[in-house]
Amino acid sequence: MSDIAMQSVLAQMRAMQSRAEGFQANPVQQPSGNFTTVMTSAINHVNETQKTAGEMTKAYETGQDVEIADVMVSLQKSNVAFQATVQVRNKMVEAYQQIMNMPI
């Protein structure tokens, strides 16, 4: 690799590093309310994420001005949200089963 190409790569890496250092993720908000409200809200959020991914997929398939990268990111977000919901459900069922198996 030539010295000029190496300097260019280093400059790009430094630019990406400075952007990454300046990035601050949204702080996680603690849910308020009872368990039912929190779970309903979470499930509704997952549902909206899946609807958005479906709409973007349909728009891309029909030839509308939608980038494939945006469609893929939306689908992955939807998948991650759904998998997290399934894991929470599994943990809830496991906790329920443990409570039911406790001796009285």
Residues 66-88 as b/e (b if ≥16 CB within 10 A, e otherwise) read: beeeebeebbeebeebeeebeee
Give start and end residues of each alpha helix (H) in the chain: 3-22, 35-61, 68-100
Residue 73: the pLDDT is 94
pTM: 0.62
pLDDT, mean of each 10-residue run, the chain (104 residues)? 69 72 58 78 92 95 92 94 92 93 88
Residue 27: the pLDDT is 55
User: Of 57, 60, 40, 50, which Cα lies nearest the Cα of 83?
Assistant: 50
Residue 32: the pLDDT is 64
Residue 35: the pLDDT is 80
Residue 46: the pLDDT is 93
